[in-house]
Structure 1
Amino acid sequence: METLLLSIKDVEEALAMEEVIHAVEEGYIAYHEGKVQQPEIVSIEMPQNNGETDIKSCYNQLNERISVKIASGFYDNGKKNDLPTMIGTILLFDGKSGAPLCVMDGSLITGIRTGAAGAISSKLLARKNSKTVAVFGTGGQARMQIYGLCQVMDIEEVRVYGEHRNGLLKYKEDVEANTKVNVILCETPEMAMQDADIAISTTPSKKYFIERSWVRPGLHIVAVGADMAGKNEWDPKIFQGSKIVNDSIAQCVSRGETRNAIVAGVIRENDIYAEIGELLAGEKPLRVSEDEITIFDTTGMGIQDNVTAMIVYEAAKKRGLGSYFEFI
């Protein structure tokens, strides 16, 4: 049989944020309804090379496809070589026969499906009149979060903090060129949090740098960066008394920002309000007051990769993208 091979350019041509948002919503609901088998994430750390690799997989009963993604973050890339920081590959298999259907670049898929997840959470939980967003980090995910958010909300200003001036300047250039928002460069994390309605963190930090005292009533938090044990961006005390929503409770209590709050003794697992699939299914109320602090902790799920990879695969076949090779 023939297997389809898709480069990052093919994947980019086949993807649109609006379509991915819809697919990820369906994937979250399918996971909540027990229609997804999703094993635990396998993580490999290579501190001597400032790198890490995650393997995420799932079987989606709705499309009868198996997906396996190997995604790496090597944070010296771009400094020591000309490679991107984030590199990923997705393998797509037929769930009826196990036959390999497609090998595709997974780095863009990881970025866009995570941006979609943050946007979905803000659509559900942020105040409807939210206009100002604090962003921590200046990488690809810091961009994708805003691109996704602008699909579902009328955002006017992004206040961004990052450690490197050149990264901040490029971030401002890119985001303003691709959206209608005004980007403000901030010298400190506290400055970024001023007047924020939504706050999004996308860094690999291992020590929290966002303080509880900076969080004002009504804020919606999208915690993206802490996707394995040992990473931490937010003061755990922020979780106390907040409405906590996870993409997967099982993952977030073992490797997310929620884990940090549990380990710190600030909350217990039964203080978690819901998984996002429950909210999308209409089984629990969303925001109940303008002053409520809401938190979406996302560690990234195989089902997100699965549904997004299927968009790419089907679009590529229709448009004649990529090339085929004999795998079996």
Structure 2
Amino acid sequence: MQTLLLNKEDVGRLICMRDVIAAVEEAYKAFNSDQVVQPDYIGIHLPSPRGEVDFKLGYNKANEVISMKASSGGFIDNPAAHGVPSGMGTILLFDARSCALTCVMDGSLITGLRTGAAGAVSVKALARKDARKVASIGTGNQARMQIRAINEIMAIEEIHAWDSHPETLARYKADIDSEFGISVVTANSKRAAVEQADILVTTTRGKGSVVEADWVKAGTHIVAIGTDQRGKQELDPEIFRNAKVVVDSMAQCVEKGETWHPLDRNIIARNDIHGEIGEILLGRKPGRENDDEVTIFDSTGMAIQDNVTANRIYRNAIDRGAGTFFEFFKS
């Protein structure tokens, strides 16, 4: 049999953000409809100046596809020392009926796209309908991806952005203005940005509290993206005390997500977590119930997001004759 190879350029041509948002919604619904087998993901931390490598595996009964993704990040010396990006990803797709390898594709762009789409899905489900201002704490690639996705489902009037690196913040402002024409206010402090937010997006991969509880105004929706391993943290755990907490995966978030921190400090109990976002999308639990609620979406990232998104790309490639076929063995 033949296996399809898709590089990053192929992947970028074969799907748009609106379709990724739909794929992520499909993935969350499948996860909460007993259609997914998803083992706990594995992370390996390598000695500095290297970073971490995560491995995510999932089986989707609905499409009969098994996906496996390896993704790396934080390899800061890579561009200069090895001539490759600081973060990379690879996805393998297998036909679950035979376990034959059907596709090898670049996973770095998919990871960015589906993570951005996850934030947008949470905004649809949990943000106030009159939300217009976004605060971005962190202004790297994923911060841009969040704006690309959120801009698909609401009208962003203004972005208040903060980053610990002024040059990164300046590039973000220029890029967002060029791509979307959205006004970006470069905040003098994290607090100044957060206090303006209808929607707060955190993408810092921080190691301690970046956003304090008394900065967050009533009615804010928080998209917590940067914490997906024990030891990372972005939010003051006190923010969770009176918030509606929604997670992508209960099993992952209570062990490795932002939600672990308030649980560890007994600020909330597991029963205080409102539910998984798939339950809201399926109508089993309510989303936002009033304009004063502070809502938090804790996103650790799931294999099923990669599975559904990558399978859509693979099907599009087959339909359009994209990519390159090769053979490991002949049947």
Q: 2:238 — aligned with what?
A: 237
In structure 1, C-alpha distance between the alignment counterparts of 2:146 and 2:75, rounded to whole Å = 20
Q: How does 1:119-268 map to 2 (within 5 A)?
A: 119-268=120-269
Provide, for residues 46-79 of structure 1, a one-character-per-residue CA deviation record: whole Å limited to 9, x for no partner. 1422400110110000100000000000241466
In structure 1, C-alpha distance between the alignment counterparts of 2:144 and 2:78, rounded to whole Å = 18
Provide, for residues 17-53 of structure 1, a one-character-per-residue CA deviation record: whole Å limited to 9, x for no partner. 1011111111101100110000001010014224001
Letter in 1 for 2:107: G
Please state how far the C-alpha of 1:142 moved relative to its aligned partner. Answer: 0.5
Q: In the superposition, relative to structure 1, how do residues 47 and 260 fare at CA in structure 2: closer, same or farther (>3 Å)? A: farther
In structure 1, C-alpha distance between the alignment counterparts of 2:100 and 2:34, rounded to whole Å = 24
Q: 2:22 — aligned with what?
A: 22
In structure 2, C-alpha distance between the alignment counterparts of 1:327 and 1:137, rounded to whole Å = 42
Give the TM-score normalised by the residue count of structure 2: 0.96
Letter in 2 for 1:186: A
Provide, for residues 108-147 of structure 1, a one-character-per-residue CA deviation record: whole Å limited to 9, x for no partner. 0000001111001011110011111111112111011010
Please state how far the C-alpha of 1:191 moved relative to its aligned partner. Answer: 1.5
In structure 1, C-alpha distance between the alignment counterparts of 2:243 and 2:127, rounded to whole Å = 13
C-alpha contact 1:38 1:303 (8 A) present in aligned 2? yes
Runs (5+) with no aligned partner, structure 2? none
Q: 1:45 — aligned with what?
A: 45
Give the TM-score normalised by the residue count of structure 1: 0.97
Q: 1:59 — aligned with what?
A: 59
Question: Is residue 116 of structure 2 the alignment partner of residue 115 of structure 1?
Answer: yes
Q: 2:307 — aligned with what?
A: 306
Residue 86 of structure 1 aligns to a residue whose secondary structure is coil
Q: 1:316 — aligned with what?
A: 317
Residue 89 of structure 2 aligns to a residue whose secondary structure is strand
Provide, for residues 282-315 of structure 1, a one-character-per-residue CA deviation record: whole Å limited to 9, x for no partner. 1111111111000000000000000110111111
Residue 209 of structure 2 aligns to a residue whose secondary structure is coil
C-alpha contact 1:156 1:180 (8 A) present in aligned 2? no
Letter in 2 for 1:69: K
Provide, for residues 135-169 of structure 1, a one-character-per-residue CA deviation record: whole Å limited to 9, x for no partner. 11121110110100011111111111111122112
In structure 1, C-alpha distance between the alignment counterparts of 2:265 and 2:148, rounded to whole Å = 33
Residue 209 of structure 1 aligns to a residue whose secondary structure is strand
In structure 1, C-alpha distance between the alignment counterparts of 2:94 and 2:62, rounded to whole Å = 14
Letter in 2 for 1:65: V
What is the CA RMSD across the aligned residues, in angstroms?
1.2
What's the % identity of the aligned pairs? Answer: 49
Please state how far the C-alpha of 1:216 moved relative to its aligned partner. Answer: 0.6
In structure 1, C-alpha distance between the alignment counterparts of 2:266 and 2:177, rounded to whole Å = 41
Letter in 1 for 2:176: V
Please state how far the C-alpha of 1:85 moved relative to its aligned partner. Answer: 2.8
In structure 1, C-alpha distance between the alignment counterparts of 2:80 and 2:130, rounded to whole Å = 44
Please state how far the C-alpha of 1:320 moved relative to its aligned partner. Answer: 2.0
C-alpha contact 1:77 1:83 (8 A) present in aligned 2? no
Q: 2:283 — aligned with what?
A: 282
